[in-house]
Amino acid sequence: MNLAFPEDLPLTGPFRYPWMFIRLILLILALNVALIYLKKYISLKGSVKETRMHAAWFWLFLGVAGMVFWFLYADLYATTFTVRYHFFQLGYVAGSTGCLFFMYYIEQLVYVMRYRIFTVLFGIIYVVFLVITALAYFIEISRFVQNFATYFWIPIAGLSFKYLYKINRLSFGKYRSWSVFVILGFAVIIFGYLGSTDAILVTLGLGAGTASLLLQIGGVVLTAWYSFKLPSWKELEWKNSIDSLYVIYHGGVFAYEYDFGKGATEANLGSRSVTVSMLEASRFLLDEAMKTGELKIIDFKNKKIYFESGEYITVIMVTNVQLDTLNFLMRKICQEFERAFASVLPDWNGDSEVFAPATSLIGRILS
């Protein structure tokens, strides 16, 4: 019975089959998540929900799957340290390749990074790593390669947390909560990976290593589940899609127009003309919308008109695209507007000046 692993190879005894099954589960899980993201990337290409992050997550989870596969094979079937470390090096190459493309696709998102600093730096480190990995087949530097590969998590974690922090700041409602869970899941994966290294196995034993593998499974599940729910880059750039915002008092009377600070340029005058035309064309639908609240959006090819009805008002937003984020903002604006002017709206006399404070109110919601 082998309890001195990784000092004695291969892994035998009571931990062999649990390790095999746990790592197989981790491998299948990571590979399935990668394939789901690949399918999303291909099927959603060209749609509103298209995002380069599908490609980024595909490469990351594919790299994790490749790393787990070679680690599994090394621990269960390698008979010498040299052979084991050679298999580990293949795993490091798989993992680092996935990380490189993960960074590349993340940095294509302008709202995350203006310049591809992480990709360039990690690319240089990646080339150096490939060189020393090749050298490890001729000279004994396997432990150095293992330690060097561990440091890959520093830039990948840094960029990932920056991306998720940006999502947290730019998104609203449920998206903000989901980004926190992805950050937590990513941290759990890294912690689990570090806990399964040889340094921890030698110090704390196979029990700690097994617990670390289970942590990795939990981290992959948490990261995958909530990363599926994260908004696309178009959702995060919702500010650029809003053209106009109006508040209409029940009965069809314009009560308020939010100023987006665009000024009266020729382009804006033309845009306002289009807006008025679309509102005029949809006038016959407006009454029903204000009575029932069932009409939520009208699609005019290049323009979308959102409707959100409250007790006394209907908020109308004209945008370029249809986004889930805008649905949330519409509800929020309608609720906050009626709450702020609860004493005015029941007997409003038609004076729009009383709604002047709404500019700061709506501006705070949209900020």
Choosing among 1.10.1200.10, 3.20.20.70, 3.40.50.300, 3.30.450.70, the CATH entry for 239-366 is 3.30.450.70
The CATH 1.20.1070 domain(s) of the chain lie at 13-235
Rounded CA-CA distance 57/51 in Å is 11
Of 98-102, 172-176, 275-279, 347-351, the range with the lowest mean pLDDT is 275-279
- Higher pLDDT residue, 63 or 198? 63
Rounded CA-CA distance 280/273 in Å is 11
Q: Which tens digits make up the pLDDT trace of 236-252?
A: 667 777 888 888 887 77
Q: Which two tokens stand for residue 306?
A: 């959102």
Q: Tell me which residue of 308, 294, 298, 292 sits closest to 248, measured CA to CA.
A: 308
Q: Using the Cα atoms of residue 131, residue 137, residue 143 and residue 146 in order, give the sign of their dihedral.
A: positive
Query: Distance between the two ends of the chain, CA-based, in angstroms?
Result: 63
Going from the C-alpha of 281 to that of each of 268, 286, 306, the distances in angstroms are: 20, 10, 14
Q: Tell me which residue of 54, 48, 110 sits closest to 327, measured CA to CA.
A: 48
Q: What is the DSSP letter of 151?
A: T
Q: What is the DSSP letter of 347?
A: G
SS3 percent helix, strand, coil of the chain, rounded to 5, is: 65, 10, 25
> Which residue is listed with tokens 């062999």?
16
Tell whether the model's pLDDT for residue 281 goes beyond 50. Answer: no
- pLDDT tier at 170 (50, 70, 90 boundaries)? low
Mean local confidence (pLDDT), 136-163: 75
pLDDT at 353: 87
Its pTM stands at 0.67
Residue 304 pairs in a beta bridge with 299, 319
* Residues in CB range of 234: below 8 A, 6 or more apart: 48, 49, 50, 51, 241, 321, 323
Q: Are 293 and 309 in contact (CB under 8 A)?
A: yes
- Higher pLDDT residue, 78 or 236? 78
Rounded CA-CA distance 26/216 in Å is 8
- pLDDT tier at 277 (50, 70, 90 boundaries)? very low
Angle at 221 between CA 62 and CA 326, to 5 degrees: 95
Estimate to the nearest angstrom the gap between the alpha carbon of 134 and the chain centroid.
35
Angle at 353 between CA 352 and CA 356, to 5 degrees: 105
Of 33-37, 38-42, 284-288, 333-337, the range with the lowest mean pLDDT is 284-288
Q: Are 71 and 91 in contact (CB under 8 A)?
A: yes
Q: Are 256 and 247 in contact (CB under 8 A)?
A: yes
Rounded CA-CA distance 148/129 in Å is 8
- Higher pLDDT residue, 277 or 14? 14
Beta strand 313-319 with 303-309: parallel, antiparallel or unpaired? antiparallel
φ, ψ of residue 242 to 5 degrees: the values are -85, 130
Number of C-beta neighbours around residue 272 at 10 A: 16
Tell whether the model's pLDDT for residue 234 goes beyond 90. Answer: no
Q: Which two tokens stand for residue 249?
A: 């008092």
Tell whether the model's pLDDT for residue 219 goes beyond 70. Answer: yes
The CATH 3.30.450.70 domain(s) of the chain lie at 239-366
Query: Could you give the percent of the chain with pLDDT greater than 90?
Result: 17
Collapsing DSSP states into helix, strand and coil, what is residue 108? coil
Tell whether the model's pLDDT for residue 22 goes beyond 70. Answer: yes
Q: Which tens digits make up the pLDDT trace of 259-274?
A: 776 543 444 444 544 4
Choosing among 1.20.1070, 3.40.50, 1.10.10, 3.30.450, the CATH entry for 13-235 is 1.20.1070
Q: Which tens digits make up the pLDDT trace of 47-60?
A: 555 567 788 889 99
H-run or E-run covering 300: strand 297-300
